[in-house]
Amino acid sequence: MRYVISFGLAIAITFLLLWGMQTLISAGNDAMSEPPRGRVLDFIRLKQDQAIVKKDRKPLRPQKPKTPPPQNMQPQIAKANPNAKANSSSFAADIQADVSLGNGLSLGSSDGEYLPIVKVAPIYPRRAQSRGIQGYVIVEFTVTTNGSVRDPVVLTAVPENIFDRAAMAAALKFKYKPRVIDGVPQEVAGVQNKITFQIDG
């Protein structure tokens, strides 16, 4: 008798559990398929139209070109001394007018004669500058057809063998307007130039 009652209760409980599970499943399907209740409002914020302001830009007037400096026929003398920082005293290298042995002074000659354009001051020897030695060198060279200097030679040096190399190196950097005869450039030999080395102050 006990077994029969237990078996009947088990069947009843099983039936109730199955019925409850079926009820929960059906209720869940309805919850997923039902549309949301209530009203949903979508807010879209619109930007106001901005007024476009146009600016009138006038082109600037071009600046007037600066007038070029007047040209002159005086030779340019560039003074450069890399040893100036090593010694507080400054120096001046005086480059005197060119002299041609065959034609005398050339700067006062007529058109077509050679003329100096650029003259570079020599580099003052550091040893002579530190000892306060001064002097001059007379250099003789040839002005070529393209205005460069060739074959510089020291004629006189006071004191000797102090400023010779500096004077010849500077002479090789000189630039001339060559002598022209009948439209043809000519070499001029025997041009002499005196370079003075003097410490200022």
Q: pLDDT by residue (tens digit) across 102-142? A: 444 344 344 588 899 988 889 999 999 999 999 999 999 99
pLDDT value for 121: 87
Looking at per-residue confidence, does 59 or 181 come out higher? 181
Centroid of chain to Cα 25 = 84
pLDDT value for 55: 61
Which residues sit opposite 96 in a β-bridge?
Answer: none
DSSP state of 65: P
Residues in contact with 168: Cβ distance below 8 Å, sequence separation at least 6, in sequence order: 139, 152, 153, 154
Neighbours of 20 (CB within 10 A): 10
End-to-end alpha-carbon separation of the chain, Å?
A: 144
Looking at per-residue confidence, does 87 or 171 come out higher? 171
pLDDT value for 193: 92
* Ranges 69-73, 125-129, 150-154: which has the least confidence: 69-73
Contact call for residues 118 and 175 (beta carbons, < 8 A): yes
Which residues sit opposite 177 in a β-bridge?
Answer: 115
Domain-by-domain residue ranges, the chain? 76-200
Q: pLDDT by residue (tens digit) across 23-51? A: 888 776 655 555 555 555 555 555 555 56
Give the domain 76-200 fold.
TolA/TonB C-terminal domain (3.30.2420)
